[in-house]
């Protein structure tokens, strides 16, 4: 029997680089700042680090618009800084994922500058260009994730370029083999430097229908679009612009490329159907893992949480579990804010920890952070500044990480950071919480360190407590449960003596038989000897 891949027992952590730690006093987080904070991640129990884009970029979308795939933007440091970060991370037992953006580049990328210079330029087919519609205007009715048409007219050549995101982010033409080879070489560049894999942005959006037909009008209007996506996106059914045949062939190509390096591929695929999502990973010939995003959208309600986790776990063993990211409101905010929201977020983290797959923590979740307050005039996110939908903007979950009390909260020595702190207090900081044995941080650390020596192994997953306020499952000799109700609830235990290996609201170590009582928004991990 072959050994399980190295990531199977890992705990992932997303660093939103601009907001993690600033080393040079310009108010923007950077690679040396992250390197200086690696000890926090190792102490916490993290061994897999996903770093958001640090490539050269004009920053129209905070680095997700790349002008050079093989260099570090001076805002974030240098290639030497990346190498040093990687060396230190590896020394601490932390592997590092680079955030790859293969769907689009920046308009300032040399490829696009060549492409738009003339219709017969050799780089023209690196991107998707089309003539105006017969009556004038965009070639079809596709819309951008950030609002408005997904097409921009180039006055010089008289054609439109396609962009599923900002107009400054033209989509690459993945039907062009030269594009595929260019991205192959970009991936090898980082793998040769020692990167341990890639988080793949918009992994299901690379291939478009060759005829670019209109998307059907949505059958129903969204009941409040999710944050991070403009309302326009929900006006259409996305039949022809994402999830097209050929996408998985690209993933298989990448799998063959990374396997000699033992590297990991984690895909961002925005599907709400777990069965459809599982098609991208269950054959294990393309992506190794894909994120399951529904827990970032749901309310704190037992039946909803139970269904979201159990349906996804039944569909695939190859999921990356998340309750937050740089694109969605923080879980502690969504779950009620304050101490209630923090407790609920921690309880959901307990449920995710023992599921098959890999749990990821978004920076600040371990501190119980809620969204920071960012006023419209302070906004940086294009959802706010370009689409004009500030309530859907992502700035609140991107405010700087609070490290210690005092000016700049240990994040920066600048007078002002790139985003405001948004109302953080000394109690939110890592330094204060690290000194408090009852803090969210210390409780989170105990939880993640349990993952380092997982008692559940590869035991099959069995859901129990099928209704009521409890969400619970068993994996062999381990039982995981959370009370998602507003009143105390008793969890009936299988026969035998169970030891409380972890608890969010009481000391660990005691033995229990028959039942245990869980307070509201509390969670436990129990272990039996056999």
> pLDDT for 402-449, tens place per residue?
999 999 999 999 999 999 999 999 999 999 999 999 999 999 999 999
Q: What rounded mean pLDDT belongs to the chain?
A: 95
Q: Answer whether CATH 3.90.45.10 is correct for domain 459-527.
A: no
Residues of the chain with CATH 3.20.20.80: 6-105+177-450
Q: Is the pLDDT of residue 229 over 90?
A: no
Residue range 294-298: average pLDDT? 94
Q: Is the pLDDT of residue 296 over 60?
A: yes
CB 404 within 8 A of CB 431: yes
Which of 523, 98, 529, 99 minimizes the C-alpha distance to 353?
Answer: 523
Collapse the DSSP code of 252 into the 3-class scheme (helix H, G, I; strand E, B; otherwise coil) and give the result: helix
Q: Is the pLDDT of residue 299 over 80?
A: yes
CB 56 within 8 A of CB 68: yes
pTM across the whole model: 0.97
β partners of residue 500: 526
Collapse the DSSP code of 153 into the 3-class scheme (helix H, G, I; strand E, B; otherwise coil) and give the result: strand
Q: Does the active-site annotation cover 201?
A: yes
312/294 Cα distance (integer angstroms): 9
The phi-psi region of residue 421 (left if phi > 0; otherwise alpha if psi is between -120 and 50; otherwise beta) is alpha
In this structure, which topology does domain 6-105+177-450 adopt according to CATH? TIM Barrel (3.20.20)
Give CATH for domain 110-162.
Answer: 3.90.400.10
Q: What share of the chain is helix, strand, coil (3-state, %, to 5)?
A: 30, 20, 50
Residues of the chain with CATH 3.90.400.10: 110-162
Q: What is the pLDDT of residues 473-524, one digit of tens each?
A: 999 999 999 999 999 999 999 999 999 999 999 999 999 999 999 999 999 9
pLDDT at residue number 228: 76
Residues of the chain with CATH 2.60.40.1180: 459-527
Q: Is the pLDDT of residue 451 over 60?
A: yes
220's CB contacts (< 8 A; 6+ apart) are none
pLDDT at residue number 35: 98
Q: What is the pLDDT of residues 458-469, one digit of tens each?
A: 789 999 988 899
- 224 band by pLDDT with thresholds 50, 70 and 90: low
Q: Which two tokens stand for residue 143?
A: 């819309």
> Beta-carbon neighbour count of residue 477 at 10 Å?
17
β partners of residue 56: 68
251's CB contacts (< 8 A; 6+ apart) are 203, 265, 267, 280, 286, 287
Residue range 290-299: average pLDDT? 95
34/84 Cα distance (integer angstroms): 11
pLDDT at residue number 223: 59
> Beta-carbon neighbour count of residue 319 at 10 Å?
25
Collapse the DSSP code of 44 into the 3-class scheme (helix H, G, I; strand E, B; otherwise coil) and give the result: helix
Task: Give CA angle at 400 (395, 404), nearest 5°.
Answer: 155
Length of the chain: 530
pLDDT at residue number 44: 98
Q: Is the pLDDT of residue 227 over 80?
A: no
DSSP 485: S
Q: Among 65, 201, 366, 428, which one carries the catalytic annotation?
A: 201
Q: Does the active-site annotation cover 241?
A: no
375/357 Cα distance (integer angstroms): 38
pLDDT at residue number 225: 59
pLDDT at residue number 222: 63
Which of 235, 277, 286, 279 minimizes the C-alpha distance to 259?
Answer: 286
pLDDT at residue number 187: 98
- 388 band by pLDDT with thresholds 50, 70 and 90: confident
Q: Which two tokens stand for residue 268?
A: 């961002």
Q: Among 14, 22, 268, 381, which one carries the catalytic annotation?
A: 268
């Amino acid at each position: 029997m072959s050994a399980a891949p190295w990531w199977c027992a890992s705990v992932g952590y997303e660093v939103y680089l601009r907001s993690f730690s600033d080393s040079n006093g310009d108010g923007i987080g950077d690679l040396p700042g992250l390197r200086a904070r690696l000890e926090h991640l190792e102490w916490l129990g993290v061994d897999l680090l996903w770093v958001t884009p640090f490539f050269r970029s004009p920053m129209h979308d905070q680095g997700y618009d790349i002008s050079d795939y093989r260099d570090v933007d001076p805002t974030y440091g240098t290639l030497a800084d990346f190498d040093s970060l990687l060396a230190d991370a590896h020394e601490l037992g932390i592997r590092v994922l680079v955030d790859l953006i293969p769907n689009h580049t920046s308009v300032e990328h040399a490829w696009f500058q060549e492409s738009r210079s003339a219709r017969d330029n050799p780089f023209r087919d690196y991107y998707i260009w089309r003539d105006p519609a017969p009556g004038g205007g965009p070639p079809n009715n596709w819309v951008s994730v950030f609002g408005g048409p997904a097409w921009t007219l180039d006055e010089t050549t008289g054609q439109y370029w396609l962009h599923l995101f900002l107009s400054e982010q033209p989509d690459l033409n993945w039907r062009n083999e030269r594009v595929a080879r260019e991205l192959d070489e970009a991936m090898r560049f980082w793998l040769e430097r020692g990167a341990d894999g890639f988080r793949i942005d918009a992994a299901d959006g690379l291939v478009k229908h060759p005829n670019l037909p209109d998307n059907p009008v949505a059958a129903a209007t969204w009941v409040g679009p999710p944050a991070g996506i403009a309302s326009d996106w929900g006006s259409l059914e996305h039949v022809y612009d994402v999830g097209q045949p050929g996408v998985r062939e690209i993933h298989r190509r990448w799998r063959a490329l990374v396997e000699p390096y033992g590297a990991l591929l984690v895909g961002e695929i925005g599907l709400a159907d777990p069965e459809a999502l599982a098609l991208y990973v269950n054959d294990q010939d393309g992506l190794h893992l894909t994120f399951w995003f529904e827990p970032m959208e749901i309310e704190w309600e037992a039946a909803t949480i139970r269904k979201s986790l159990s349906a996804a776990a039944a569909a695939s063993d190859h999921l990356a579990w998340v309750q937050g990211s740089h694109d969605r409101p923080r879980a502690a905010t969504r779950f009620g804010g304050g101490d209630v929201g923090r407790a609920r977020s921690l309880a959901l983290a307990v449920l995710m920890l023992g599921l098959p797959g890999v749990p990821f923590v978004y920076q600040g979740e371990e501190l119980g952070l809620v969204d920071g307050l960012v006023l419209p005039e302070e906004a940086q996110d294009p959802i706010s500044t370009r689409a004009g939908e500030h309530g859907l903007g992502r700035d609140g979950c991107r405010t700087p990480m609070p490290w210690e009390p005092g000016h700049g909260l240990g994040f920066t020595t600048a007078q002002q950071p790139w985003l405001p702190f948004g109302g953080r207090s000394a109690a939110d900081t890592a330094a204060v919480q690290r000194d408090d044995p009852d803090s969210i941080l210390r409780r989170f650390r105990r939880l993640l360190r349990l993952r380092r020596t997982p008692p559940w192994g590869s035991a099959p997953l069995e859901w129990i407590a099928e209704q009521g306020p409890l969400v619970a499952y068993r994996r062999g000799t381990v039982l995981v449960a959370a009370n998602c109700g507003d009143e105390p609830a008793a969890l009936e235990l299988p026969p035998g003596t169970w030891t409380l290996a972890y608890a969010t609201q009481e000391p660990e170590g005691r033995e229990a038989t028959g039942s245990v009582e869980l307070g509201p928004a509390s969670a436990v991990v129990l272990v039996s000897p056999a």
